[in-house]
Amino acid sequence: MDPFQHILLPLLFLLAIRLDTKKAMLFVPLTVLPDFDALFGLHRELGHSIIPMVAIPMAIIAYARFRKSEWLLSALIVQFYLASHVVLDLGGVAFLWPFVPEQFFFEPGITFGVDGGLDFAIVLDYGMRDMPEMETTSFLSDAGVALLLLGALMTVVFRGEVVKALSDAWRFAKENLLEIVAKLR
Ligand SMILES: [Zn+2]
């Protein structure tokens, strides 16, 4: 999955349930954080394993639940964003790295054919395999381009709504994100 989809899909889910727009925007860079493990030559290992993706965020959730309840929603959003990355990468991640060096993959699908009558079939491919050599990977894949085209189509059909949403988003960014950045300094 390309970075564009890693960012856009979980963000749209959180915005759709109108959770807390400010926090959803603030933590969204975490959706692509795991892929920076490629910088260490440990792509889909270091940043995609159970320790950073589940154990550490769960510890933060537990801490928030018992000690700092005002952190709880943030901690849950952090866990959702990190876990979303692994879920979207299910085609192959070394989830138990460094304990198990192989990657796990899960590639389910339902096929549909009309050859000789209606015919549905469930194809389930899963298991473990050696980590492939790191090759060139798409920065924007065909599915990412399809999502962009969907956005362009939406803009053509719902011009008024899109302009309003963008101006709302811009106002929101000006009012909140600058304030958050100022606070972090
Ligand atoms: Zn990844």
165: pLDDT confidence band, cut at 50, 70 and 90?
confident
The answer, yes or no, to whether residue 14 has pLDDT greater than 90, is yes
Alpha carbon of 33 to ligand 1 centroid (Å): 8
Which residue from 142, 101, 105 is spatially nearest to 124, judged by alpha carbons?
Answer: 105
pLDDT band at 123 (very low <50, low <70, confident <90, very high): confident
- At residue 125, the 3 state secondary structure works out as strand
- Lowest mean pLDDT: which of 50-59, 97-106, 123-132? 123-132
Give distance in angstroms: CA of 115 to centre of ligand 1.
Answer: 37
Tokens of 91: 């085609």
DSSP assignment string, 87-115? HHTTTSB-TTTTTS-SEEEEEEEEEEE-T
Query: pTM to 2 decimals?
Result: 0.84
Per-residue burial over 20-50, b if 16 or more Cβ lie within 10 Å, else e, is eeebbbbbbebbbbbbebeeeebbbbbbbbb
Mean pLDDT of the chain: 89
Predicted local confidence at residue 134, as pLDDT: 67
| 103 strand-pairing partners | 129
User: What spacing in Å lies between the alpha carbon of 124 and ligand 1's midpoint?
Assistant: 21
CA gyration radius, the chain: 20
What separation in Å is there between the alpha carbon of 86 and the centre of ligand 1?
7
- Asked whether 31 and 6 are in contact (CB, 8 A), the reply is yes
How confident is the model at residue 145, as a pLDDT? 92
Give 84 Cα–ligand 1 centroid separation in angstroms. Answer: 10
CA of 116 to the centre of ligand 1 (A): 40
CA of 129 to the centre of ligand 1 (A): 17
Neighbours of ion ligand 1 (CB under 5 A): 34-35, 89
Rounded to the nearest whole angstrom, what is the distance from the C-alpha of residue 29 to the centroid of ligand 1? Answer: 13
Sign of CA dihedral 83, 26, 16, 151: negative
Distance of alpha carbon 103 from alpha carbon 127, whole angstroms: 8
The token pair that represents 75 in the structure block: 């901690």
How far away, in angstroms, is 35 Cα from ligand 1 center?
5
